[in-house]
Structure 1
């Protein structure tokens, strides 16, 4: 393999020498330039695997060179050298297509990590979403899903923070996993955390770690999630649920690329890409004072919106087929569901359904249908879909569940309602209720435990 080569553009001799020496120790040959014009000439003469450019140059800016590279050499990752603390320039550079940024004075450890990640893109063909592993493919052939696949492939080639929006059940974590798997960090860890599930007094400990004895209950040293994601990706799901105090420290961690574990006086450098997500409108949360504007500005460098299922009804037949196959392989009582399929009328009914719970709701509907259907063909009546628009409020516990099954914000309550209705009619005899539902007692016990029904 030919030796890696980087184009380094800066008008400060000391910076050029430092970068040249550092790259040389990584077995990367540095070709230097001090102006935009000279950099363009070098690009015409040589093949480069990476470009490092200062923001301010005698005859233009780093943005001028970035635009030139994006237009004529889109395969070359570009990292911008910015002034210390100039967050706006760094964000603007990544919005314009920069791979990453490094701040002056240049931290050599961060620089080496950046160069290592960039070089992993060399000669790399676009990856398919199957690289993320079994069960993590983006299903659907609709134009909306084709756009999502294209954007994911593009986002995977840089290190800019990504903010994924979309309703619950649209696959935000799946999109984050695919961005990670298809990028240069794909071999590193993918650490996912639901920020809303962490008690507020433990958020800082979970994210940044702590030392033994730093607070009551700290019986040993604990590595934070930032450190656990070293060399990989940290996915902050439902980031809007973070308390304001933790948001301040998260902003510093992202901006400075270092964290301070609770109970220590020193900071630890971290190298993790940040992808965050929320089903809430963060602009509205900022206006309410619930989310810091500067943090939103930092994590929302690039936004990826996942489409709702009702926006792509043409994908429902394929999704349903795949979900039925998965449900068949996962039967808890050992009985296969191979051959289980939807009638044409059932498919049309699903296409007309609004799906407030999106793909998660579709899976729940099909799981219930496979449990309650006699035979292998699922009809419209087996889906228990309500007429008209789905309810927007959760049904009260005392409302009876009879022939009609109420819809709720969370599709798991559909199954809960059907099971509670059968139990009530069977006078809370589980064996009799299982027979009414067409389940084995073991399958009913599994569902009761999964749904948290005592």
Structure 2
């Protein structure tokens, strides 16, 4: 029998100062499965993150020695190419969510969060952190009946239209024009599937789910610009 190396588990930094909540989060995360380093303060989290490249940061917005948004800003200074980050808080309402998304968190989980909800949010965030290729030739070939000429022609048209679509999405997102943003993203998502542009498609879906998120908008901007070059 061929022996294979065990799969590498995602490594998560959990920042939560309430001992019961920390134990609950750890149990759910480890059941995914995942490796979890749990800390209760900004200082401890920064010490951990200086030495370890994590696959996800899961951070409480309220900590004994500061806020989760302050912690995220310091982590982003340390890691210019950061992993996904999720915030969690016991405070419901639009204010904390908007603040978290502006700070760069991908989403905000409101406690108490169900085990299924926590697991789903973490899986989605981890998937978003996986590096996708700009082009998937196999997917495009399947979508266009395995005709290389069709793939080439449609990609040329896609790239001709992408600068205008990119500018329209960024403009509508910054203006908070939700209707225009949804329409533009819907058209782009369909086009990405046809031409086999998985990285941009993933960024489009992330922005569609969290249109208020500055991090999602930046992911979209970078993915589109890399194709436009």
Tell me if both proteins adopt one fold, taking TM over 0.5 as the criterion.
yes
Unaligned runs of 5+ in 2: 1-6, 145-153, 218-229
d(CA) in 2 for partners of 1:98, 1:78: 5
Partner of 1:112: 119
TM-score by length of 1: 0.35
Q: Which residue of 1 aligns with 2:186?
A: 173
Q: CA deviation at 1:149?
A: 11
Q: 1:212-258 deviations in whole A, cap 9, x for unaligned? A: xxxxxxxxxxxxxxxxxxxxx6xxxxxxxxxxxxxxxxxxxxxxxxx
| Residue-by-residue CA offset, 1:157-193 (whole Å, 9 max, x unaligned) | xxxx994637x9xx5522344599537969xxx9xxx
Cα separation, 1, equivalents of 2:116 and 2:166: 36
1:66 aligned to which of 61, 72, 75: 72
Q: Do the aligned residues in 2 keep the contact of 1:83 with 1:103 (CA within 8 Å)? A: yes
| Cross-structure match for 1:83 | 90
Cα RMSD of the aligned pairs, angstroms, is 4.2
* 1:38 matched residue in structure 2: 44
Residues of 1 paired with 2:16 and 2:124: CA distance?
21
Query: How far did residue 72 of structure 1 move?
Result: 2.7
Matching residue of 1:392: none
Q: How does 1:51-450 map to 2 (within 5 A)?
A: 51-73=57-79, 74-125=81-132, 127-128=134-135, 138-140=158-160, 144-145=163-164, 148=167, 163=178, 165=180, 171-177=184-190, 178=192, 181-182=198-199, 275=208, 300=212
Q: How many residues align?
A: 188
State the match for 1:29 in structure 2.
35
Separation of aligned partners in 2, 1:97 and 1:33: 20
1:3 aligns with 2:47: no
Q: Using a 3 Å threshold, how does the CA distance of structure 1 residues 150 and 104 change in structure 2: closer, same or farther?
A: same
Deviations 1:261-294 (A, max 9, x none): xxxxxxxxxxxx7839xxxxxxxxxxxxxxxxxx
In structure 1, runs of 5+ residues without a counterpart are: 156-160, 191-232, 234-272, 277-297, 305-454
Q: Check if 1:14 corresponds to 2:20.
A: yes
Aligned to 2:221: none
| Superposition misfits of 4+ residues, deviation over 4 angstroms | 128-137, 144-151, 176-181, 183-186, 298-304
The TM-score normalised by the length of structure 2 is 0.64
**RCO comparison, higher one (Cα < 8 Å, 6+):** 2
